[in-house]
Chain A
């Protein structure tokens, strides 16, 4: 089938227990010249220890500035099958749920219009269709939209929001992650398809502090579930854990970061006023413990990978807000943030870098939020305070 490939180095990667991408790409080689030349070029990369791709920045579908990543082989004469090898980012459904009926429509389109290769999924969350020619971009887009699919973001725009499995299959979800993800994606279609920002803006949504979408590390804006009241305890289930002989003292009590848990026989006592909602006890004792009833989300801003000024985690901008349909409070917050960042940010400046440059205090003022002690680990330890209020002698115009 693919005997003419001659890829001895890649063939090594067909062995071993982990599923082999080489074997898989070879399965396409019978019908796709693109798949064959991809393997041949990759074999050359393995021989020469370097990549052979060029970035194409101008390709796209009509009217959109996002959703397509241009790629050309640096060796088009040697590997004409991958002379063009562009990517389409297809906006995934909330929580990455599919039916076979729906996804088969996409595989059919992609067999017809592209390489047949995909990423399930890309780092931002999109369903990635990997490898096609410039002239196939528009027909692929048309075929996708006919079946109800649209492209995701790329470039200096709102990147495709993504969310965890949430209330669809998790008892810890503090709000409806899938609904707000769907709502925000639809609310901001223009911002997603037509790049107008200083730089990218990623939104990730996790239903609890376990943060399965890595919102605190990977999103300019994280919406992360949290609760304010007491952890809910099912006393009977708790007693069953104790009866099972589980080392609750070692595994739960001693791992509590604030030491706010004590055991009294089969009863668990939690000093909820000192609980930092870390999730450890709930994770270990899922039948007995669950998040409280007064649920919502904390909003973090500014996480990013290292380029350029170093990696940042998101920091808390809103310690708690209710997340409820129709999500207007969230729209209002997002738009206040974008407006201030648009106006005062510089080119290629992520929101986290922007906040560090203008200071958190200025940023909060700019978006109309009050400073709160939950936003910091500790108050400043340097004395260089720029006082804006001071007294003046009468008639000299103090503030």
Chain B
């Protein structure tokens, strides 16, 4: 292939310094404090002045048209400077306080919401789902859209007891690492891969397929003289790794795939230590395009939490205070055998004291 310019590699990302607003550069490392100017708006006060942040919702899966719209607003109101948060919110960084209101109005006119700060639900971090992933048990973007349509008022206000972090992952591989969120929505496969013995011998390398299973559940076998594989169904944990190497082992099962709901995780160290999310609802059906069972379950948990937690109490802290039996009572969620851990270190989750509430 003819090359006009030398091919570059290993140049790494551009320096962040060129992307910092002049006020940020001047006050870099010298911020004194911040003020909360209402939902979605922050003022950070530095030695030589303030920078104003307007935080805006985003579907994360966005087109160049969407980005160009955002950038037109940034050019108009924030001198072309903006950023994204670790939860995929958009943040406009304004030098001029007078630009806040007109920017908010134009953001809203473009169908976006201002909010997500302090005691609010921030953007839902999520994965690819049926839009792009080969092992998804559900769609992520559609779930997020459906849930946030129900919870939008908690994004644009700060009326929750504390911040509420919701995450969606579309299978157990958890690219979205939802295992430490206040509320996690997790796509689940519930049945082992179905082997297409007709196409598998031509399509897949047997040793590679066998080796792909992290639990050694796949063994070579012979059917009608052709070498194929079989799955020890008791060992399968539905990770989809075999389907990754062998397209003749689809994991998708429309009848059984669905969604589970988890609660009470947190990451920050404030007050209590970081906590994993715990199982609340083992299975809800996939019901696109709106997933009504999921949205109503999540909304109910949010509302009970909002009504009962003390200020600054995260979901997990609130449940630890009232106890899990009361959580199941209040939420009306059925407690089942699936809530009892049976994996590694399961015993550490058993009640090993008489500290129970009756």
Residues of A within 8 A of B (CB): 9-10, 12-13, 15-25, 27-28, 35, 38, 42, 45-46, 48-55, 57, 62-64, 71, 74, 85, 87, 91-104, 107, 110-111, 116-121, 123, 125, 130-131, 142, 145-146, 148-150, 162, 164-165, 167-171, 173, 176, 178, 182, 185-186, 189-190, 193, 209-214, 216-218, 237, 250-251, 255-257, 276-280, 283-284, 286-287, 290, 305-311, 313, 348
Contacts and interface: CB of A to CB of B under 8 A. Distances in A.
Interface centre among B64, B84, B288 (most CB of A within 10 A): B64
Given A9-B289, A45-B130, A213-B86, A171 B33 contact: yes
A150 B10 contact: yes
A280 B272 CA distance: 9
A309 B344 CA distance: 7
B67 A171 contact: no
Nearest to B44: A169
Nearest to A114: B64
Nearest to A126: B13
Interface in B177-233: 177, 179-180, 214-215
Nearest to A95: B16
Given A100-B71, A100-B75, A214 B180 contact: yes
A176 B31 CA distance: 13
Q: Which range holds the interface residue count of chain B?
A: 35 or more
Contacts of B257: 49-50
B53 interface: yes
Interface stretch (B146-154, B296-304, B329-337): B146-154
A178 B75 CA distance: 24
Nearest to B51: A169
B131 interface: yes
A163 to B, nearest CB: 9
Contacts of B215: 308
A165 B18 CA distance: 15
Given A57-B245, A209-B269, A150 B12 contact: yes
B290 interface: yes
Nearest to B240: A55
B183 to A, nearest CB: 15
B21 to A, nearest CB: 9
Interface in B34-65: 34, 44, 51, 53, 57-65
19 contacts: A21-B61, A50-B130, A50-B254, A51-B136, A93-B14, A94-B16, A98-B83, A123-B175, A145-B9, A145-B11, A168-B20, A211-B269, A217-B265, A251-B312, A255-B312, A257-B272, A279-B269, A280-B312, A313-B276
B129 A51 contact: yes
A74 B248 CA distance: 11
B168 to A, nearest CB: 11
Nearest to B151: A18
Interface centre among B33, B68, B111, B172 (most CB of A within 10 A): B33
Contacts of A12: 289-290
B357 interface: no
Given A101-B80, A279-B268, A193 B10 contact: yes
B10 A190 contact: yes
A120 B83 CA distance: 10
A94 to B, nearest CB: 4
